[in-house]
Structure 1
Amino acid sequence: MDSKKINMKRVRDAIIWLTLIAGIAVVLFFAIHRKANAEIQGMEITIEAINGKEYLISEKEVKQILQLAAGKSITKANIKTLNLRKLEAKLNKDKRIERADLYFDSNDVLRVWVIQKKPVMRVKEISGSEYYIDQSGNQIPVTIGSAVRVPIITGVRDTFYSGIMQSNKPSRLKDVFQVMKYVFGDLFLSALIEQAHIEADDEQDIVLVPKVGREKVIFGDANNIEAKFDNLKIFYRDGMPKLGWSRYKTLNLKYSKQVLGMLANPEMAHRVMPVMKDSLTAEVTDNKQSIHN
């Protein structure tokens, strides 16, 4: 008798659970069906700004890309007629976009979130071509009406091609990219450097132009990048305040553990001043001025 009661209880519990599951399934089915057939209530595009205020691509351009990919007006379509993965893929093919995410919110509004690629420099080839290069060495087109403030690179004789940054072939464009990538990751240097130029002589030195001061910084090639910039930082920190911010025409970082300064005064322009690491006091000789402990 007791076993019959237990079995009946189990049957009753099973029926209750099955009924609940079936009810939930029905509710979900109709909710999904209603959602799929619902009209889109609008589209909100959010583009993550570069440096808080700069854009490579506009909301208008994003909307145009989506409209072309969908083949119709998105805001007049039903939710089920849009393939969000396809639209995302189309946006992600744009060279200015790092990542795009699309989804519908609870109010049936299509939310479009765009993360832009982050340029480290803007290249002006002597051939006339102009473009950005991002942190990964990818080319980004320059478009009318949008700009990002990054160092401008001039005197470039190389022609960009896919894979140039990974190639083993010598390339000054690749060298200057490595230098600018380091600058991009350093707060002091990114605030200091506004341009780099590749000299036209046989050595093709990379020359940096600061935003302040009149001196140019001869960087040379892409070897010992960190050590060269460490020397420059020490010179700006310890040398410039004592010697004067307008004293030098050029600063040369090509040599190990020192900064060579060419004086700006025309009468002393032939004098070269080696500024040693940890230098504090000045000593003047017949043809050069050096700083040492």
Structure 2
Amino acid sequence: MIRYVVTILSVLLTLALLALLTVSFENGTNGGTCKAVAVSLQDEEGARFVSETEVKQLLLAKGIRLKDKPLDNIDYAAVERAVKQHRLVQRAECYPCPSGIVRIAVWQHIPVMRVFSGGHSFYIDAKGVKTGLSTLTAADVPVATGAISDSVTLADLYQLALLLKEEPTWDALIEQVVVFPDGEWLLVPRVGDFDILFGRPVNMETKLRRLAVFMSEYLPRIGWESYSSINLKYDNQIVCTRKET
């Protein structure tokens, strides 16, 4: 009997606690107002391309003022749509908290390559999407220049950027990609005064593996200033041109 009474009391206390929590939550949202707006970046990866100030200024420019506005009257979907109009915002989520703070979670576009084409410059992000530049900082990514005028070339550059991003030792080797009108590429290394004749963008992973081995095992012994060019266009070999003395 005593055990039965204790069980009943436990159930009643649990229900009372849940009711109290529900009321507390409702008092913090329903009928409350926005006390503050907090913007958080979810995927900085060491680089900050979007600032809290930019997000708040963007909302004001769209005529969206959240401070002191009733939480029940805020169009959270409209806030998300407005924030996603920022050139470097990939995704946004907006929601109220019981404390009265409206939180905006932001996911950035993460650049993997910067492209200069036709007098314009833009990033390609980790998902292959073209995005604008940041006013805060420049991304430390390889740069592509030259005859870049079609989606096929951009797709090939994106594949190269992914290969470099996935292998840090390769990323440390390449600073720039020059695309020629005939479709062949030239790579500019971060270290060393020579050109890397990459040829057309085929078998890119194999070429990069050969280049990495050559630059890590052979060049330190023969000398970084020994060659004017390193040619990767031929299968299973690397053809080097010595500098004229």
TM-score normalised by length of structure 1: 0.71
- List aligned pairs for 1:24-35, cutoff 5 A: 28=22, 31-35=25-29
Q: Structure 1 51/249 Cα, relative in aligned 2: closer, same or farther at 3 Å?
A: farther
Q: What SS is found at the alignment partner of 2:104?
A: strand
Does the CA-based 8 Å contact 1:176-1:206 persist in structure 2?
Answer: no
Please point out which of 52, 55, 59 is paired with 2:48: 55
Which letter does structure 2 place at the counterpart of 1:253?
Answer: L
C-alpha distance in 1, partners of 2:68/2:171? 46
C-alpha distance in 2, partners of 1:172/1:138? 14
C-alpha distance in 1, partners of 2:87/2:125? 10
* 1:277 matched residue in structure 2: none
Deviation at 1:245, TM superposition (A): 1.1
Q: CA offsets, 1:40-93, max 9 Å, x none?
A: 2212222246441x3332222211233355x34212212112122332233235
C-alpha distance in 1, partners of 2:217/2:28? 70
Deviation at 1:154, TM superposition (A): 0.7
- Superposition CA RMSD, Å: 2.9
C-alpha distance in 2, partners of 1:248/1:260? 10
Does the CA-based 8 Å contact 1:67-1:74 persist in structure 2?
Answer: no
1:131 aligns with 2:119: no
* 1:83 matched residue in structure 2: 75
Please point out which of 83, 86, 101 is paired with 2:93: 101
Please point out which of 20, 23, 31 is paired with 1:37: 31
Q: CA offsets, 1:270-292, max 9 Å, x none?
A: xxxxxxxxxxxxxxxxxxxxxxx
Which letter does structure 1 place at the counterpart of 2:242?
Answer: L
Does the CA-based 8 Å contact 1:178-1:222 persist in structure 2?
Answer: no
Q: Structure 1 172/21 Cα, relative in aligned 2: closer, same or farther at 3 Å?
A: closer
Q: Structure 1 174/27 Cα, relative in aligned 2: closer, same or farther at 3 Å?
A: closer
Please point out which of 105, 109, 115 is paired with 2:107: 115
Q: More relative contact order in 1 or in 2 (CA 8 Å, sep 6+)?
A: 2
- List aligned pairs for 1:109-188, cutoff 5 A: 109-125=101-117, 127-159=118-150, 164=151, 171-188=152-169
What runs of 5+ residues in structure 2 fail to find an aligned partner?
1-7
Q: What SS is found at the alignment partner of 1:197?
A: strand
